[in-house]
Amino acid sequence: MCSFSFGSTWLVDKSRIATKIKCASGACDPEKIKWKSNPTRACPKCQHVIDNSDVVQEWPGLPKGVKFDPSDEELMWHLLAKAGLHNLRPHPFVDEFIYTLEEGDGICYTHPQNLPGVKQDGSASHFFHRPIKAYNTGNRKRRKILGEDFGDVRWHKTGRTKPVMLDGVQTGYKKIMVLYMSTVRGGKAEKTNWVMHQYHLGIEEDEKDGQYVISKVSYQQQQVKVGEQNDLNIPENTESTIPKVDPVTPKSVTTEPPRT
């Protein structure tokens, strides 16, 4: 139960709190929300069930700017808890913010625009899922999305695999992938604005088959330009792009003595 100093009281649950947090970041219209739950509470004396049906003023939610935007390290903590490591347990609200995909094909079971809660407004959606092998042999993971009418649609890894540290100890890795798509008629695959950051546990750069990973999926508002530093945090080339110029020896100037 939440109570505020101006006298109004509301019954809220984790679903409503999560929805309000998502709306505070501007991802949805609060006036068009269809609540999936109606929190209730029984009176400790008479056991009468209290709900929000007689509430005159709707809970205002949270100020704009409040959002679920965990860092790489914080996502790794959620992943450790999901795996039950280090005696960690998932937060009671985590399933409202990081949805678990149980489909056999993992996150590749559908186009990212069809994933639960995903929007094309620049906001990010997070998912637990298990990667699967692309083939029966080898360790290559499946990146291709099947069963779509878009043609050849698949995730391509870009940049280097980056280690993620917790308290100075390497705990896992982060990969960045971009969705490429070709038409049904074929042709060269084109880069889309869909981006996925994938996190996995362990000291190996490749995630293990069947082990939970976290993927952060977003639709970039502007197409990323080649060679441009952008929100993807793609590591830059360590070699300098400034052309080398040989130093020029200044010419000595001999002044004539003044005429007498």
Q: Is the pTM of this model over 0.75?
A: no
Q: Which residue has 């698949």 as its token pair?
A: 154
Report the alpha-carbon distance of residue 192 to residue 200 in Å, rounded.
24
Query: Where do runs of H (alpha helix) occur along the chain?
Result: 14-24, 72-83, 94-97
DSSP conformation class of 51: -
Contact 85, 201 (CB under 8 A): yes
Q: How far apart are CA 33 and CA 19, in angstroms?
A: 9
| Pick from 155, 84, 82: nearest CA to 115 | 155
52 Cα distance to chain centroid: 33
Which of 91-102 are b and which e, b meaning 16 or more Cβ less than 10 Å from the residue's Cβ? eeebebbbbebe
Q: Tell which CATH architecture fits domain 72-219.
A: Beta Complex (2.170)
pLDDT in tens, the chain (260 residues): 444 444 566 677 777 777 777 776 655 555 565 666 667 777 788 887 777 666 655 667 778 888 899 999 999 999 999 999 999 999 999 999 999 998 777 898 899 999 998 999 889 999 999 988 887 777 788 888 876 566 789 999 999 999 999 999 999 999 999 999 987 676 788 899 999 999 999 999 999 888 999 999 999 987 555 444 444 544 333 333 334 445 445 455 455 555 54
3-state class percentages of the chain: helix first, strand second, coil last, to nearest 5: 15, 30, 60
Domain segments of the chain as ranges: 2-50, 72-219
User: Contact, 109 vs 101, CB < 8 A?
Assistant: yes
